[in-house]
């Protein structure tokens, strides 16, 4: 297999278009805007070979059509007619092969941010769109706290070393909320120092990994006594089950 890199291309205010590339080819995940991708492909003399979409939001798929005008490539995405350009619709448990790269990705359905959100997992990498963020999770636009808990739990069962490539640079703000929800978590303080130093240099704080999320992300720590206590305080009543805790801290975060 050719060596490959995973490059973050910036789009809009805080989106990343994750780009797998070798010496001659590239595949992009969630190209919300075609321009940064086309610029990069031209500059690096790369040919686009595939587009992967995790969910239908415009800041993740808005560049599909323009890229397809320049490159006739397969588009891998969920069963959702709201992404018209998808040529290969994928369901939970299916495996796709990335053309030109000797890479295979397993598809995981992870609804909650949107009804049909999927993730791609393979070669030690997870592309999870807006469901799991570093130290956070996506808003519940089309799903329930129950679904988000289920989807995040599914991702937390992946190997600890799995690199987590999420769709936005939200880490620092997420850490500030997480510290309010779990003030005594020393892993959060250590991470904040590291993340602040990266942001001071305008560098990405991603990828994260599953072990880091287990240690720092309040939305996957809904069974930890400190999180249960602060969620209960926010809700004004004792909360016992992880789904109620997740619902409370999701609401708290929305108003933080
Ligand atoms: Zn989204």
Give the model confidence (pLDDT) of 33-77 as tens digits: 999 999 999 999 999 999 999 999 999 999 999 999 999 999 999
Contact between 22 and 6 under an 8 Å Cβ cutoff? The reply is: no
Which one from 30, 33, 80, 130 is the annotated catalytic residue? 130
141-173 pLDDT, tens digit each: 999 999 999 999 999 999 999 999 999 999 999
Residue 186 C-alpha to ligand 1 middle, in angstroms?
A: 30
- Contacting residues for 199 by C-beta, under 8 A, at least 6 apart: 172, 205
Residue 225 C-alpha to ligand 1 middle, in angstroms?
A: 30
SS3 141: coil
Place of tokens 């709201």: 82
Residue 1 C-alpha to ligand 1 middle, in angstroms?
A: 33
Residue 184 to residue 166: CA distance in whole angstroms = 26
- Ion ligand 1: residues, Cβ under 5 Å: 57, 130
Contact between 70 and 48 under an 8 Å Cβ cutoff? The reply is: yes
Q: For the chain, give the mean pLDDT.
A: 97
pLDDT at position 4, please? Answer: 95
Which two structure tokens, joined as six digits, stand for 198? Answer: 């990266």
Residue 2 C-alpha to ligand 1 middle, in angstroms?
A: 32
| Residue 255: CB atoms within 10 Å | 6
Place of tokens 């790269």: 101
- Contacting residues for 37 by C-beta, under 8 A, at least 6 apart: 9, 17, 19, 28, 31, 48, 63, 67
pLDDT at position 248, please? Answer: 98
Residue 22 C-alpha to ligand 1 middle, in angstroms?
A: 28
Which one from 60, 100, 117, 149 is the annotated catalytic residue? 60
pLDDT at position 2, please? Answer: 64
88 is catalytic: no
What is the CB-side half-sphere exposure of residue 79 using CA atoms within 13 A? Answer: 8
Which one from 30, 33, 59, 209 is the annotated catalytic residue? 59
pTM: 0.97
Q: List helix spans (H) across the chain.
A: 34-44, 58-61, 64-70, 145-156, 171-181, 186-200, 210-216, 225-235, 242-254
59 is catalytic: yes
60 is catalytic: yes
Which one from 57, 100, 117, 149 is the annotated catalytic residue? 57
Q: Quick one: CA torsion of 51, 57, 59, 65, rounded to 10 degrees?
A: 50
Which one from 25, 56, 113, 117 is the annotated catalytic residue? 113
pLDDT at position 102, please? Answer: 87
Residue 49 to residue 17: CA distance in whole angstroms = 15
pLDDT at position 1, please? Answer: 52
Tell how strand 47-52 and strand 25-29 pair up. parallel
Contact between 232 and 248 under an 8 Å Cβ cutoff? The reply is: yes
């Amino acid at each position: 297999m050719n060596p490959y890199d995973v490059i973050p291309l910036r789009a809009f205010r805080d989106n990343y278009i994750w780009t797998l590339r070798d010496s001659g080819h590239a595949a992009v995940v969630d190209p919300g805007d075609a321009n940064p991708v086309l610029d990069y492909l031209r500059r690096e003399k790369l040919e686009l070979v595939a587009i992967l979409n995790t969910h239908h939001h415009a800041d993740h798929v808005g560049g599909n059509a323009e890229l397809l005008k320049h490159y006739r490539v397969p588009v891998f995405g969920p069963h959702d007619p709201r992404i018209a350009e998808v040529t290969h619709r994928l369901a939970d448990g299916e495996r796709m092969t990335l053309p030109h790269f000797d890479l295979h990705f397993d598809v995981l359905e992870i609804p909650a941010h949107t009804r049909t959100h999927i993730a791609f997992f393979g070669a030690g990498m997870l592309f999870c769109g807006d469901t799991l963020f570093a130290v956070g999770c996506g808003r519940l636009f089309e799903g329930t706290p129950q679904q988000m808990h289920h989807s995040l739990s599914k991702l937390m069962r992946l190997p600890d070393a799995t690199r987590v490539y999420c769709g936005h640079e939200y880490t620092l703000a997420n850490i500030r909320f997480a510290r309010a929800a779990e003030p005594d978590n020393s892993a959060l303080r250590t991470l904040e120092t590291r993340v602040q130093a990266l942001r001071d240099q305008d560098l990405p704080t991603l990828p994260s990994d599953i072990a880091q999320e287990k240690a720092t992300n309040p939305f996957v720590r809904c069974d930890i006594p400190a999180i249960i206590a602060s969620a209960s305080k926010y809700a004004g009543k004792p909360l016992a089950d992880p789904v109620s805790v997740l619902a409370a801290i999701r609401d708290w975060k929305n108003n933080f």
